[in-house]
Amino acid sequence: MAETMTYKILKQHLVEGRLEKGSEIGIRIDQTLTQDATGTMAYLQLEALGIDQVKTDLSVSYVDHNTLQNSFENADDHRFLQSAAARFGVWFSRPGNGICHQVHLERFGAPGKTLLGSDSHTPTAGGLGMLGIGAGGLDVAVAMAGGPFYLTAPEVLKVNLTGKLPTWTGAKDIILELLRRLSVKGGVGKVIEYAGPGVGTLSVHERATITNMGAELGATSSLFPSDAVTKRFLEDQKRADQFVPLEADPGAEYDHEITINLDELEPLASMPHSPDMVKPVKEIGPLKVDQVAVGSCTNGSYYDLRLVAELLKGKVIHPGLSLVVAPGSRQVYMALARESIIESLLASGARLLESACGPCIGMGQAPPSGGVSVRTFNRNFAGRSGTADAGVYLTGPAAAAAAALTGVLTDPRELGDYPQLPEAYLPVVDDRMLIKPPGDGSNVEIMRGPNIKPLPLNEALPEKLELKVLLAVEDNITTDHILPGGSKVLPLRSNIEALSEYVFASLDPGFPAKAREFGRGMVVGGENYGQGSSREHAALAPMHLGVKAVLAKSFARIHHANLVNFGVLPLTFADPADYEKISAGDELVMDDLHRQLNSREINVKNRRNDQNIKALHHLSPRQVEVVKAGGLLNYTRR
Ligand code: MIC
Ligand code: SF4
């Protein structure tokens, strides 16, 4: 049978279930990655699983998020992560070596293999033809322990690329066009496969920009074929032996198909506060810009930064703004340094940051009050930049450079002639900031700082739940709403007690106190509840506050899985109109729950008006048991 790339990889890795669309399958994970903000929890969980050495072919622990060391917490976490990596047989990428997705693409990613990462942008590896999937830390810990990763066998969406990108447009405009058409929930339940004559015109870095932001579509993963371009990339990375070709069979059947004619694209931007609020830059109109930020796992490649430097060359940035630049990896940084591009950026007035996530997750460089920031990043959720009333516009590097020069949002085509850039460059391959684990780590002592607290566990699911509705929220609530990032909150990722004080901080600062007062509560949500990041803390911290269930119109994939992993019951409205029948403060009752969970339907009674509402669960039989046990750790220990 003619197969898609997705199903070829899934078939080769299937260990449980039947490979039928919509049913739960378990797959073998070849490689894992963690980053520091989610990694501390993942290694504590690995420890709790009683594992001696990881069972994957390769696991890597990166430090890239919490690199601002305002106080001891982040530095302690780095030390914990380095020692845990050595203990469990995991490679350690030292702070300064770069953003996990960029480094993984360069140094470890391999076509045809599976990668599970505790970060939602793990599908960046799809630029190499690798099936990268984002998940909560606990799922990644289980994969490191050799367990299967469970997912719903996805639908496959084929994006047919025709034509060739015009000058002044780039890969970012392709993915923004897709976001414009499909919205932030258009990819839920799907893997997106790229095909067609346009594919061969895109470098691995351009492909990775596109697969990276598949996360913003809510997709399970995104995949490019592995072809001559991939082979050349791996050769340049001195990893030619890892090349295998991958493409869909002719005649493979897809569930959905769309075409993007690259010839027709123009510079696009996402407007505040959602990646799918996309418009052509020229239509957004004059807008004073206060900050430009270049880098991140989306556009932090050598090519992106070199383009910006080239456009700024010989000029100085507009006096009304600041420009910050963070290369995606040390490899990129070193190539830019070698070719004096760093010097050129400095001459133009750029503020150079270390190679890390930085401003993308609000780790410094917050824009001024009410400011406008133009960023080559992937997310522009309200408040994520660290400034609650700032507006973030997401663009490609050319539009970012145009804004930096003119001080206003500018269609880069107005800059005149497109610069002549050399086609290829040879990366500096230097792995000395990657620490290989010792053959036997059993004697390595794990170093814990005072901010690293033991893992909180949930109680088993009671037979009857009487829950106060603590908060009712609208559609597309992100995990940044549920649990913010930023330099103040992120250092608390390994201290759930302290972290819990920030649950729903931007929507309802009184939430933690209310939750504590009522003991057991729930949250009511709209469509696509929990979109965005993979942070399991957005399930774990509410669980710690006594949240037992979330009733929403629909869920984002990773957050749904994280709720289950911590024994919080995710339910949807059988009739979305019932959303209107519940308000904050109501008391909802679910009787005889264990029995009710045997069918899809759960009866929920609202004490305020004695009305019954029909809710549905979307749990596999395995997940029902996990929720009943009060989460995956309890379930596994049994
Ligand atoms: C993000 O981009 O939101 C993050 C920070 O990388 C998160 C992970 C986290 O919250 O630690 C993600 O994308 O999963
Ligand atoms: Fe880091 Fe931003 Fe990428 Fe998340 S999206 S991994 S915070 S650079």
- HSE-CB at 552 with a 13 A cutoff on CA atoms is 27
Contact assessment for residue 262 and residue 164, using Cβ atoms and an 8 Å cutoff: yes
Where does residue 555 rank: exposed (0-12), middle (13-18), buried (19+ CB within 10 A)?
A: buried
Catalytic residues: 64-65, 119, 379, 533, 535
- The whole-angstrom separation of Cα 358 and Cα 386 is 11
Residue at 542: amino acid letter: P
In angstroms, how far is CA 68 from the centroid of its own chain?
20
Q: How far is the CA of 411 from the centre of ligand 1 (A)?
A: 30
Residues 6+ apart with CB under 8 A from 608: 583, 585, 586, 587
The number of residues making up the chain comes to 638
In angstroms, how far is CA 294 from the centroid of its own chain?
18
Residues with Cβ within 6 A of ligand 2?
Answer: 65, 99, 119, 121, 296-297, 357, 360-361, 378
Closest residue by Cα to atom 1, ligand 2, is 357
**pLDDT the model gives residue 423:** 74
Quote the tokens at residue 251.
């005649």
- The conformation of residue 603, written as its DSSP 8-state character, comes to E
Q: What digits encode the pLDDT tens for the residues 306-315?
A: 999 999 999 9
**pLDDT the model gives residue 286:** 85
Nearest ligand to the C-alpha atom of residue 381? 1
Q: What digits encode the pLDDT tens for the residues 116-138?
A: 999 999 999 999 999 999 999 99
CA distances (Å), origin 120, targets 103, 298, 392, 531: 16, 12, 20, 10
Nearest ligand to the C-alpha atom of residue 212? 2
Residue at 338: amino acid letter: R
Look at residue 48 and tell me whether its pLDDT is greater than 90.
yes
Q: Which ligand 1 atom is nearest residue 121's CA?
A: 13
Closest residue by Cα to atom 2, ligand 1, is 533
Quote the tokens at residue 167.
């000058």
Helix 228-236 to helix 204-212 angle, to the nearest 10 degrees? Answer: 100
Where does residue 312 rank: exposed (0-12), middle (13-18), buried (19+ CB within 10 A)?
A: buried
- The whole-angstrom separation of Cα 305 and Cα 326 is 9
Of 204, 216, 214, which Cα lies nearest the Cα of 110?
204
Widest pairwise Cα distance in the chain? 72
- Given the DSSP bridges, would you call strands 322-326 and 351-352 parallel, antiparallel or unpaired? parallel
Quote the tokens at residue 490.
């992120």
Exposure string over 504-526, b if 16+ CB within 10 A, otherwise e? bbeebeebbebbeebebbbbbbb
pLDDT category of residue 389 using cuts at 50, 70 and 90: very high
**pLDDT the model gives residue 547:** 98
Cis upstream peptide for 273 (omega within 30°): yes
Integer-rounded Cα radius of gyration of the chain:
23
pLDDT category of residue 279 using cuts at 50, 70 and 90: very high
Angle in degrees, CA 255, 259, 263, rounded to 5: 165
Residue at 377: amino acid letter: F
**pLDDT the model gives residue 243:** 98
Look at residue 17 and tell me whether its pLDDT is greater than 80.
yes
Secondary structure of 524-554 in HEC code, one letter for each residue: ECCCCECECCCCCHHHHHHHHCCEEEEEECC
Exposure string over 261-284, b if 16+ CB within 10 A, otherwise e? ebeebbbbbbbbbbbbbbebbbeb
**pLDDT the model gives residue 310:** 98
Quote the tokens at residue 181.
């058409």
- In sign, the C-alpha dihedral spanning 64, 69, 73, 75 is positive
CB of 534 closer than 6 A to ligand 1?
yes
3-class DSSP state of 428: coil
- The whole-angstrom separation of Cα 187 and Cα 431 is 35
Q: What's the chain's average pLDDT?
A: 97
CA distances (Å), origin 300, targets 64, 95, 218, 479: 13, 16, 22, 24
Angle in degrees, CA 419, 425, 430, rounded to 5: 140
Helix 100-107 to helix 330-338 angle, to the nearest 10 degrees? Answer: 80
- The whole-angstrom separation of Cα 368 and Cα 25 is 47
CB of 37 closer than 6 A to ligand 1?
yes
Look at residue 424 and tell me whether its pLDDT is greater than 80.
no
What domains lie within the chain, and their CATH numbers?
5-264 (3.30.499.10), 268-414 (3.30.499.10), 465-637 (3.20.19.10)
User: Which residues are 326's β-sheet partners?
Assistant: 295
**pLDDT the model gives residue 425:** 86
Q: How much is the average pLDDT of 481-501?
A: 97
Which residue matches tokens 């340049």? 236
Q: What digits encode the pLDDT tens for the residues 176-186?
A: 999 999 999 99
Closest residue by Cα to atom 3, ligand 2, is 297
Q: How much is the average pLDDT of 262-275?
A: 98
Closest residue by Cα to atom 4, ligand 1, is 533
- The conformation of residue 446, written as its DSSP 8-state character, comes to P
Nearest ligand to the C-alpha atom of residue 293? 2
pLDDT category of residue 358 using cuts at 50, 70 and 90: very high
CB of 120 closer than 6 A to ligand 1?
yes
Residue at 261: amino acid letter: N
Contact assessment for residue 526 and residue 552, using Cβ atoms and an 8 Å cutoff: yes
Q: How far is the CA of 119 from the centre of ligand 1 (A)?
A: 5
Q: What digits encode the pLDDT tens for the residues 591-606?
A: 999 999 999 999 999 9
3-class DSSP state of 462: coil
- Residue 241 dihedral angles phi and psi, to the nearest 5°: -65, -15
Which residue matches tokens 């590896």? 125
3-class DSSP state of 60: strand
CA distances (Å), origin 377, targets 71, 326, 342, 395, 566: 27, 11, 20, 7, 30
Residue at 614: amino acid letter: K
pLDDT category of residue 637 using cuts at 50, 70 and 90: confident
pLDDT category of residue 10 using cuts at 50, 70 and 90: very high
Q: How much is the average pLDDT of 207-220?
A: 98
Q: How much is the average pLDDT of 56-78?
A: 98
Contact assessment for residue 486 and residue 386, using Cβ atoms and an 8 Å cutoff: yes
| Residue to substitute in 36, 38, 65, 299 for testing ligand 2 pocket (most ligand atoms within 8 angstroms of CB) | 65
